[in-house]
Amino acid sequence: MGGARGMFRWAVCQLDTLGKCCNRAMLRKSLATLPRTLDQTYDRILSAISEEYSEYAMRILQWLTFSERPLSVEEIAEVVAIDVARDPAFDRDEVLEDPLEALDICSSLVTITKNEAGGRLRPAQQIIALAHYSVQEYLVSDRIKQGSAKQYSMQEAECHNAIARGSLEYLIQFQQPLSRETLKASALARYSAEFWSSHLRKTGDKVEQASQLIMGLMAREEPAYLNWIRLHDPDRTWEGRNLGKKLDCIPMPLYYVALLGFSTVTRLLLDKGAEVNAQGGGYGNALQAASAGGYEQVVKTLLNAGAEVNAQGGRHGNALQAASAEGHKQVVKTLLDKGAEVNAQGGHYGNALQAASRKDHEQVVKTLLDQGAEVNAQGGYYGNALQAASARGHKQVVKTLLDKGAEVNAQGGHYGNALQAASRKDHEQVVKTLLDQGAEVNAQGGYYGNALQAASARGHKQVVKTLLDKGAEVNAQGGHYGNALQAASRKDHEQVVKTLLDQGAEVNAQGGEYGNALYAASWRGHEQVVKTLLDAGAKVNAQGGEYGNALYAASWGGHEQVVKMLLNKGAEVDGQGRYYGNALQAASHRGHEQIVQMLLNAGAEVNAQGGGYGNALQAASAEGHEQVVKMLLDAGAEVNAQGGQYGNALQAALAEGHEQVVKMLLDAGAEVNAQGGQYGNALQAALAGGYEQVVKTLLDAGAHQH
């Protein structure tokens, strides 16, 4: 190791050695014999490990060098007790009594750190790691073979084999179902369950040597099988540990070995009578699982054993779609040679061609087309292969499909057509290709209604310009947002808004979820877009959308600057809306104090009736917004006004137990025995909620008990 970092590491090791000297004589001797290089330093440290600890050190260093994730000190304490050359491999009597003894065994080659909170290890645990990357580099190098510590030389395949076999032996040792208590005393269980297979796949031709061990784990009637899946289900990796999982809820062993790609064990299980077409698991059956993983030999073994090549079910619908989706060319060919139906329907993508097109697997696409795949087959999320490829911007696949006769204006799927899909995802070159091939620029359908609205909703300026240049109708109606201008306004794409307006977009066009563009921009608080729309002549009091008008929407959202702009442009402060009746009630319900004050200053009628709460005071009281309640009362709100869900403000406050608001209303003259509303009277509202202190307050204020 050269360079400053190598020298620094060399110095650290020397200081560690010198620090162990207990007198001047030892210090002088150590100084006289200091190794000159980092390699020599590591060689000396390794050689100094006593013979009784050398095997333990080897195991520790082996696992730390090739582990799939950081290991805790508790896990390493158990690693020491695994010897794959003996039976049983794991000897609990060898587990380190004090996990930190690993530091003494390996000296300055390892270090202890705390794992970061939120990591895969529990926050309270400590992890042990090689002290420096140069340690690993030396252990796996050819240089170590030239020194006195050559017995610590590590060959990757052999080490992965030892870890894999050790993990398997560790799991097989459990003869009873794992409990939480057992698991606490079995630190290495989770690592072994999760990573034995990944280590085994890295052993090269040594995989077959572990076949009988794997068979031991795959004995469905033995506790080890269920324990493994409970600790880590490779078919549901997101699920985490689940010690309550039942045996009848998990797939058969054949499914798992196919999923993991172990061909010899697949054959052994079949020889023992495993049902090749058994249903179960995320992929539905073993053949689909192996096909998704690209395990050609496993696929052939299953097919030769009678696996139904066109079996339906699972994530991909069938094995051919699974292999196509993952781009496994050779598996696709194998399945087709065995009679897989190239146009079979099912699964998320509808058919194999759409699956391959979505994932940009050009060679698989060509293979499927050569084998008779219907280029315009309908179905699946994208409707057809061309839309799938267009949505992901796969230019070459798009060209291949078009050359094979794909209908450029085919309808269907989430985006309605290929042009809308490409426009939504900003794939400009694909958009141009489709247009050059005759795509109808104003074709209707899909979530956005048309390509222009799709591009506008996402703010793709250049695609918007391309579509307009090709004749896109700027005011075309349809889709979720009604028109392109509303879509761009909702998402705050100011430059697209300006482009659309410059191209003649009708600023007051009605339709879509938000009714009009001004409402859409106001609801989201997009100040600059609101200004642009107002400057372009947007009607400030236009009705539409969920909340009725722009002022109402902005007030509900708490967008002070937008409210101010709308009021300055003449927004009707008492304009009626839907659920909340008017802007003041909406702002009061949400507790937006500044907006409430702005609306009152602008002349909002404090006692205006309407909406779900009847008036602003009841809306604020229901949510416990004390300051807003005070503002409304100071502005002349009628404390006993009737109407709305709760009948009056007092009952609204009581329904949610807002004690302070209740006191404020009573102090302002609220009639404690007023009738009406959901609960009939205030006392019944308080009793329904179980608010004892508030009940006492009401009784003290003269509430009638009968």
Q: Helix/strand/coil (H, E, C) string of 80-91?
A: CCECCCCCCCEC
The residue to which tokens 């054959």 are assigned: 267
Quick one: pLDDT at residue 36? 60
Over residues 249-306, the pLDDT tens digits come to: 999 999 999 999 999 999 999 999 999 999 999 999 999 999 999 999 999 999 999 9
SS3 content of the chain, % helix, strand, coil (to 5): 55, 5, 45
Spacing of C-alpha 201 from chain mean position: 27
Do the domains spanning 44-154 and 550-700 agree at the CATH topology level?
Answer: no
User: What is the rounded distance in angstroms from the CA atom of residue 443 to the CA atom of residue 427?
Assistant: 18
Q: Which phi and psi angles does 415 have, rounded to 5°?
A: -100, 0
C-alpha distance from residue 638 to each of 26, 532, 573 (Å): 93, 39, 19
Write out the two tokens for 321: 């779609």
* Residue boundaries of the structural domains of the chain: 44-154, 550-700
Task: Assign 232 a pLDDT band (cuts: 50, 70, 90).
Answer: very high
Report whether pLDDT(240) > 70. Answer: yes
CB atoms < 10 A from the CB of 18, how many?
13
Look up the pTM and report it.
Answer: 0.83
User: What is the rounded distance in angstroms from the CA atom of residue 63 to the CA atom of residue 154?
Assistant: 11
Write out the two tokens for 330: 């050779």
CATH, domain 44-154, list 3.40.50.11540, 1.10.10.10, 1.10.599.10, 3.40.50.1820: 1.10.10.10
Report whether pLDDT(35) > 70. Answer: no
User: What is the rounded distance in angstroms from the CA atom of residue 272 to the CA atom of residue 277?
Assistant: 15
Q: Give the residue from 596, 649, 641, 598 showing the smallest Cα distance to 623.
A: 649
Helices (H), 140-284: 156-172, 180-184, 189-201, 211-217, 223-231, 253-260, 263-271
The residue to which tokens 């001047």 are assigned: 24
Task: Assign 621 a pLDDT band (cuts: 50, 70, 90).
Answer: very high
Quick one: pLDDT at residue 678? 80
Over residues 213-225, the pLDDT tens digits come to: 999 999 999 999 9
Over residues 77-133, the pLDDT tens digits come to: 999 999 999 999 999 999 999 999 999 999 889 999 987 655 444 555 799 999 888
The CATH homologous superfamily for domain 550-700 is Ankyrin repeat-containing domain (1.25.40.20)
Task: Assign 2 a pLDDT band (cuts: 50, 70, 90).
Answer: very low
Quick one: pLDDT at residue 580? 86
Quick one: pLDDT at residue 531? 98
Report whether pLDDT(350) > 70. Answer: yes
Q: Give the residue from 478, 477, 454, 480 showing the smallest Cα distance to 467.
A: 454
Q: What sign does the CA torsion over 270, 273, 274, 278 have?
A: positive
Write out the two tokens for 652: 């609204």
Over residues 180-200, the pLDDT tens digits come to: 999 999 999 999 999 999 999
